[in-house]
Structure 1
Amino acid sequence: MGISREVVYLWRREDSDFSMKFDEINSEITERLEASAFQRAVEGVEKDIYYKGIRIGFTRDYSDVLTMFLLKARNPEKYNPTAREKEIAQEVSREISTKVAAVIKSVIPDVCPECRNTFPFKNTIANKLHQLSTEV
């Protein structure tokens, strides 16, 4: 069509009607893709069988890969344990960083006992640790 991706992004940002229509079309395309994936996974697709150039019948092929994708999408806890494992790892990481940050805050004094200068980096360290834990 000759329209760049950047122009489409611009139109989506600046024209609410265009953005709404774009989202509707995108949803419709996704629904069609899902229906096609379901059909190929569950109902299968016919593939012709030829012998010496003559069609003698057909076989029905099913897509195990699409079946697995559909199962993972519909029940990730059961069919995609890595998603739950990642979620658990993030929760544990947040808990650990919160506890370590509390220890850092309790161990490092607010003020140097010798020179009476403040230690502003203690909160910085704790905040950075918390930030890193959310990136796991």
Structure 2
Amino acid sequence: MPRLKKPDPRTHEEKQAEFLENVTLYGNITEACRKARLDRKTMYRWKIDEPEFAKAWDEAAEIGIEAIEDEARRRAFKGTLKPIYQGGVKVGTVREYSDTLLIFLLKGAKGSKYKERMQLSGDKENPVALEIRSTVVFEDMSEQQTKS
């Protein structure tokens, strides 16, 4: 016989409040849903259907992102202690700093702010090669149309 799921005694508002608290703590929607024992799709449906909840969600997400940034900064500037073993015995610790973690956390948290950028540029006398080729192609096309 299938096991029946017990109904959740929490009110709608209590579920939302627990979810939002978890968003601020973990900065991750999936983790917030898991900790609050709520379905991710349900949360997104509520976000669409309830403007006040959507606003609170966005505010909680900002706080969560700030917490991630704080942790990234802590690990980048203060580091973490890693054990050192010799012959299977712990003989000490070393402080490790994580530039890579800082970069990835920031890109993940605020991709638009920390995304990689590539810019092609040139001056009037030496434009980038793509501009030169495009100009030549258009000039050739113009000459052919003039001759016809």
Q: Shorter-chain TM-score: what band?
A: 0.3 to 0.5
Greater share of helix residues, 1 or 2?
1
Give the structure-1-normalised TM-score. Answer: 0.46
Give the structure-2-normalised TM-score. Answer: 0.43
